[in-house]
A and B are shown apart, each in its own frame.
Chain A
Amino acid sequence: METSPLAFIRRGQPVTLGNVPPGRTLLEVLREDLGATGTKEGCGEGDCGACTVVIGELEGDCIRYRAINSCIRLAHSVQGMAVWAVEDIAGADGTLHPAQEAMVRCHGSQCGFCTPGFVMSLFGIYQKYIAPTLVTTCTSLPPEGAFAPRGSPAALSASPPAITREVAQEELSGNLCRCTGYRPIFDAAQQMETLPAVKVDEKALVRQLRALACVRAEPVEALASTSTSSARTGFSARTAYLLPKSLQQLLALRASHPQAQIVAGCTDVGLWGTKLHMTFDSVLDVTQVRELKRVEHYDRHIAIGAAATLTDAFDALVQERPQLKTFAQRFAGLPVRNSGTLGGNVANGSPIGDSMPLLIALGANVVLMSARGHRELPLEQFYSGYRKTVLAPDEVVAWIKVPRPQAGEFLRAYKISKRFDDDISAVCLVVNMRLEGDVVASIGIGAGGVAATPIRAAATESLLLGKPWTQAAAQEAAVVLRAEFRPISDMRASAGYRTEVLGNLMRRFWLESQGVENINLELAVIPGLTRHDNIGAGA
């Protein structure tokens, strides 16, 4: 099968490539087809960040910048976007970009192999935190403060934030360095704003991106007027990479191409190619479906489109429930959250995906759509076995509906992993309880890492529901919770540990519900030590 030409903007110029196979990664295109070997492969699975590049996408009149892992991102998914690799940000005269210059000055590179990835994550930080403070080149100026980065600590404050060590640490959480110990890289992140400013020519870029969008939009325009399958979907029957722009188009393509591998951010499916060596004859990419990229707010729930990135989805969830901030930051690394989608995490159905225990505890529903119509079901009913779901061949996950917080709701999300950031849970437990008086009026408990699917702790819930919330009840709940699942032993933890910790986390939930402080390492306040005090080297 053939693919449409792949077109994107790089170094201010359109790049058009023909015959790029559907499963080819962006990294392969950069390194092998374009000879841009600055971008490195460290792991081929989106866990080290050496391959980080920045993509720019039109959002309204502005450019949205995202650092992503090019090693597992399918090349065709950047159709119509701008792409910056490490070779692309220095000036034409060789003047280094502040993201680069700061790394040199702060001794942020040793072996240098992770460096291009860090530089690009820093470039992403620069575009997110510093560029908006410069005289903007955006064609329509948004209201003041609207540029405050989503989900950042300063999102609610009016003035654009300086890059704190905490911001640097969070934004670089998906980049591994084995040489430096990170301190000089944090320094570099903070020093960027002291260097002469560098702006992307956004006016020109917006024009170019619009021009690209027009080229690819042509077949789509034809879809309403004819009834033949190819015209209806806007794609030739032989097109191997299907990139629908609308929900209607997506559903039609799903119906006509049930064999196509459906992908969103490709942060898991990408590994099927790089690690399992699968090849895809045809791919159906949902990430440019405009309806599904949205997060919509209703009175009783928010509806997160299946193509919304994890970054955007968690921003929406954290906005409603600020106590989830750390949990959200601990979900993979930033480049994965920037590429991956909540819909993908849900549809993938891994028993150790972290979003599902949360969504189950919150009582979320999933909306499945096909050309035949739609259906809605509680998330836990979506799973039928290990990595199996009830999705029909012509269906797609379209929306995840999350109930809005209720007054009196007490929500805690616990994640146990070997490493604090960017790790997969050994155990994940989310408890959402609402008391009326001292009686449990509602309770949702979602668990991950303890069964073949993400699962609701139904026995523990029914034990507690309608009962007074007392220490004895919490102790009993811990016992029931431990008995409710039969986890396995694997490289992340033993079955015994998982079981023991489940009960211990219920104990923590009890203590936290009683207002006991400093019982959680995530939140503990150690006297004389703020979270990012004083990193530095004095020689």
Chain B
Amino acid sequence: MTARDKEFDAATGGGPGGAADAGERNLAPATLSPHAPALGGPPAGVSRAHESARAQVSGAATYVDDIPEVKGTLHAAPILSTVAHGKLLGVDAKAALTMPGVRGVVLGADIPGDRLLATFVHDEPVFATDSVQHIGQVIGLVVADTVMQARRAARKVQVKIDPLPPVLTPRAAHAARSYVLPPVIVRRGEPESALENSPHTLTGQLEVGGQEHFYLEGQVAYALPLEQNQWWIHSSTQHPGEVQHWVAHALGLENNAITVQCRRMGGGFGGKETQAGHLAVWAALAAKKFGRPVKMRLDRDDDFMITGKRHPFAYDYSVGFDDSGRITALKLAMLANCGFSADLSGPVADRAVFHTDNAYYLSDVEIASYRCKTNTQSHTAFRGFGGPQGVIVIEAILGDIARTLGLDPLAVRMRNLYGIEERNTTHYQMKVEDNILEPLITQLAQTSDYATRRAAVAQWNAASPVIKRGIAITPVKFGISFTATFFNQAGALVHVYTDGSVQVNHGGTEMGQGLNTKVAQIVANELGVPFERVRSTAADTSKVPNASATAASSGTDLNGRAAQYAARNVRDNLAAFVSGLDGCGAGAVRFQNGSVISPKSTRSFDEVVKAAYANRIQLWSDGFYRTPKIHYDKVTLTGRPFFYFAYGAACSEVAIDTLTGESRVLKVDILHDVGTSINPAIDIGQIEGGFVQGMGWLTTEQLVWNDKGHLSTHAPSTYKIPATGDIPAHFKIALWPEANREDNVFGSKAVGEPPFMLAISVWEALRDAVASARPPGQPVALDAPATAENVLRALR
């Protein structure tokens, strides 16, 4: 217990052995909140510090591995496949079982429920039993008294595997028609004849690598058996409801027997959307077998080897365009490397198709999306969820069109933008109604001084023999909503206690994005109380059931709105109560700055709450929200899958070394659209963090699988996310000053994913720099990530 918590207990007379009885305690005035002292001003629309910031900097914020262990807790470590593809002939754990502290192993035969995980496609075994499908696939667990005992012993388990030929690349899978899901083709117009009639055409190929999430907190779950075959699961998960469902399914129980809780994650980025479920199921199966609480925390290397990444993509395209650089036809094949099972690959590949237009109108187009099955980790959600893999290919094409025609790439991009009155329907038949691309990009081009700098870069390059510079502006238009329409619902609970303090709980999870802070701001705003009076609590399946994953950037849109509605219900109850006291209309009662103001009186919020309680007024409520307007046919991929679009643009300048291919990002200006910001500091944090993460994807973060299918970059020693030295010297973020044109909570827009794709400007700037060292009029063949080696190859 921290000093602060002790003070809190002292102040409220509570805690074990506290002097006051429960009744008194509940009515005592609140004197301390977890937040910094009140700053004044409105609770929302301002840069409140993260609700857990003070705990995080003091080491007092609890993550799953920090929870004090229940007596008797055992630890599990995974037994991994050492072969990419093969028949699993047997598991010999004799050597492991004699090691100190080892309690036993858990294998497929120990699963009381379904031996397949409860994934959407139902194609992934809990433990590999008859065959292995990638190096790192989990065959079983060793359970021991300590985590290191379990890990040491797991390495001693002998697995007998009869190897089969593996499929390791999406192109090989496509050639063999090896897919996790059937291909999807989206088509508009007559791309073949349009290609034939185009003044110019280009064909090309592109390979874009995957990305490891590298959440700083690795995957972890802690399963505790409770009475009457009930289970308590602590999970670092973006989707507690899904963990609940998976665990129930594997244990052969109903969902109501499982409670899953997650106070916070040490980062998620999509990597804990489905992948956290595996850990929880494994821990629960071990706990079931041994009748003891079991914690499973993956070593970082094992985490790399077991869990899925961002999908690597390969592309083949033919594009037609006119003399101005406007696209007249596009035929594109996208090969998504899905790994050995479907996981979320269907919707990820769908979103790649949806975002192949990025900001541009494609008149005659065919996009064929192949969901390739390979013998690697099963790739999964990652910030952008296929969007980046769609956006990058069209930006690559536009950059090469400009180079081929000798035009400024920005001018070519502007010519291809969606129109307002015409050229405004996407290839999936959604009308773009909130288009701000043209003014936004124009403003960024001005504030970043793009034209002058482009000339300066050209001048530098003419005189510089070794170091070449490049500059690029790329936009982003990102569709907001889960494409699976039914996920776009959320619930929340707002409790006002008799002392006037407020607790909010919702179906979303906190992974660092500041969701709990924003939701607390919204609730405080709605109740007219200071931000400091609202406390956020852990996501918990026993509080708000059936919640969607905190994903698709939708956390605040969905849960914030649900919490707003819940708070509004409580406020309405209080307003009705006050209107009765003061004989005025309920609509005339206002809530602000901790006061409740009617035309006749001003009372403190606490006073009103206390009186309302005494008069048996309900002081808590649920709230429920479903996103309006959206509909979508998943067979034809047409409809309105998105409630609205979030927009942005970035101008990046880079330098490359033509002797080694090394590069540096020098200067970045971003103009991004978050609607009316609920919390500018948090939104800027998402923009900067998303951009840098995207920059990592396209520059230093290279996943390397060797010719046996072994992931040889499986730790931060070999897999390099951006470090402090990679941050551009000039890094400026500005927010677009306009509310969401759709009726979204507080007028805000979602911000988690869209900025990630702004980093494509870095990759385009690198291609611009490469082009300056090559003969004019040619495309640049640069695969992503733009490692020094790939840049040097592109220079040849």
Contact = CB atoms under 8 A, between A and B. Distances in A.
A521 B657 contact: yes
A539 B677 contact: yes
A109 B788 CA distance: 31
Contacts of B513: 110
A521 B664 contact: yes
B720 A418 contact: yes
Nearest to B54: A104
Contacts of A116: 56-57, 59
Interface residues of A, number: 104
Interface string A66-100: 00000000000000000001110010111010011
Interface string B48-59: 011011111111
Contact of B264 (A45, A112, A119, A170): A112
Interface stretch (A57-65, A152-160, A197-205, A511-519): A511-519
B680 A179 contact: no
A39 interface: yes
A319 interface: no
In this complex, which of B265, B663, B729, B788 has the most chain A Cβ atoms within 10 angstroms of its Cβ? B729
In this complex, which of B4, B214, B266, B269 has the most chain A Cβ atoms within 10 angstroms of its Cβ? B266
Given A48-B216, A111-B264, A421-B725, A526 B655 contact: yes
A110 B660 CA distance: 36
Interface string B680-696: 11111100111111000
A529 B666 contact: yes
Interface in B664-717: 664, 666-667, 677, 680-685, 688-693, 700, 702, 704, 706, 712-713, 715-717
B673 to A, nearest CB: 13
In this complex, which of A36, A42, A100, A115 has the most chain B Cβ atoms within 10 angstroms of its Cβ? A115
A100 B65 CA distance: 22
A517 to B, nearest CB: 10
B424 interface: no
B217 A518 contact: no
B187 interface: no
B151 to A, nearest CB: 6
Contacts of A87: 58-60
Contacts of A110: 50, 512-514, 685, 689
Given A94-B2, A110-B514, A42 B720 contact: no
A119 B57 contact: yes
Contact of A169 (B53, B57, B65, B725): B725
A178 B215 contact: yes
In this complex, which of A40, A110, A424, A531 has the most chain B Cβ atoms within 10 angstroms of its Cβ? A110
A224 interface: no
A521 B685 contact: no
B347 interface: no
A104 B36 contact: yes
A471 to B, nearest CB: 13
A507 B725 CA distance: 26
Interface in B320-373: none
B73 to A, nearest CB: 12
B685 A107 contact: yes
B101 to A, nearest CB: 12
A530 B689 contact: no
Given A421-B726, A537-B733, A43 B148 contact: no
B512 A86 contact: no
B469 interface: yes
Contacts of B792: 497, 500-501
B712 to A, nearest CB: 4
Interface string B462-495: 0011110100000000000000000000000000
Contact of B789 (A178, A493, A536): A493
Contacts of B683: 539
A31 to B, nearest CB: 8
B385 to A, nearest CB: 17
Interface in A142-196: 168-170, 172-173, 175-186
A38 B717 CA distance: 24
Given A43-B300, A418-B702, A539-B684, A179 B689 contact: yes
B624 interface: no
Contacts of A100: 54, 57-58
Contact of B47 (A35, A107, A111): A107
A107 B682 contact: yes
A40 B61 CA distance: 11
Contact of B720 (A43, A419, A527): A419
Contacts of B54: 96, 100, 104
A519 B463 CA distance: 11
A348 to B, nearest CB: 14
Contacts of B618: none
B31 to A, nearest CB: 14
B766 interface: no
A520 interface: yes
A372 interface: no
A183 B300 contact: no
Interface in B711-738: 712-713, 715-718, 720-735
B659 interface: yes
Nearest to A185: B724
Contacts of A494: 789
Nearest to A534: B730
Contact of B692 (A94, A181, A277): A181
Nearest to A116: B59
Contacts of B680: 539
Contact of A180 (B60, B685, B704): B685
Interface in B636-675: 655, 657, 659-660, 662-664, 666-667
B456 interface: yes
A538 B734 contact: yes
B201 interface: no
B58 A86 contact: yes
Contacts of B63: 40, 113
A92 B729 CA distance: 38
Contacts of A112: 50, 52-53, 55-56, 61, 264, 266, 512
A275 interface: yes
A417 B725 CA distance: 13
Contacts of B266: 40, 111-114
A504 interface: yes
Nearest to A100: B57
Interface in A482-535: 490-494, 497, 500-501, 504-505, 507-508, 511, 516, 518-521, 524, 526-535
Contacts of B685: 107, 110, 179-181, 184
A420 interface: yes
A416 interface: yes
B774 to A, nearest CB: 17
A48 B716 contact: yes
A531 B689 contact: no
B723 A42 contact: no
B650 to A, nearest CB: 13
A37 interface: yes
A109 B681 CA distance: 11
Contacts of A492: 718
A457 interface: no
A47 B685 CA distance: 24
A388 interface: no
Interface string B496-518: 00000000000000011110000
16 contacts: A36-B59, A43-B300, A45-B717, A110-B689, A111-B267, A113-B215, A113-B267, A173-B725, A177-B216, A181-B685, A181-B727, A183-B688, A277-B155, A528-B456, A535-B727, A537-B733
Given A114-B216, A426-B789, 19 more contacts: A40-B216, A42-B218, A99-B57, A107-B49, A110-B50, A110-B513, A112-B512, A119-B59, A178-B213, A178-B689, A180-B685, A180-B689, A181-B727, A419-B720, A420-B664, A421-B726, A519-B464, A524-B467, A536-B731
The 10 A-B pairs of least Cβ separation, nearest first, read: A38-B59, A111-B512, A113-B266, A112-B56, A181-B692, A86-B59, A110-B512, A421-B725, A47-B716, A181-B688
